[in-house]
């Protein structure tokens, strides 16, 4: 039986719904506005806004698959954000 992961919304007050919407918008903006090396990191603060967790937890790829995914992601930024400024800052600086 599949349960509705959003069933908790039905019992929330109008004020609680607005508060949840504002928290989600804030987290989405923080995620959207990341730049530099932060683009490579996951954002658990966004996930904590959900009342449920993925079945089996998070799955982490092995290094070779992870690195290929990072490279493809960075290549996609060249296509999607071709005009964005570039940085030569090293990780940890």
List the domain boundaries for the chain. Answer: 7-80
CB-based contacts of 57, cutoff 8 Å, min separation 6: none
> So what's the pLDDT on residue 55?
83
Element (H, E) at 19: helix 14-32
Confidence of residue 44 (pLDDT cuts 50, 70, 90): confident
CB-based contacts of 31, cutoff 8 Å, min separation 6: 43, 46
Among the listed residues 50, 49, 73, 47, the one whose alpha carbon sits nearest the alpha carbon of residue 58: 47
- Residues 48-59 have pLDDT tens digits of 888 888 888 888
Q: Mean pLDDT over residues 31-36, rounded?
A: 86
Element (H, E) at 21: helix 14-32
pLDDT at 24 over 70: yes
């Amino acid at each position: 039986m599949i349960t509705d992961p959003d069933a908790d919304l039905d019992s929330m007050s109008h004020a609680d719904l607005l508060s949840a919407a504002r928290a989600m918008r804030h987290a989405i903006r923080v995620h959207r506005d990341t730049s530099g090396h932060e683009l490579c990191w996951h954002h658990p603060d966004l996930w904590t806004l959900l009342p449920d967790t993925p079945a089996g937890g998070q799955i982490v790829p092995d290094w070779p698959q992870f690195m290929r995914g990072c490279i493809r992601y960075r290549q996609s930024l060249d296509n999607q954000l071709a005009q964005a400024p570039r940085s030569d800052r090293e990780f940890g600086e």
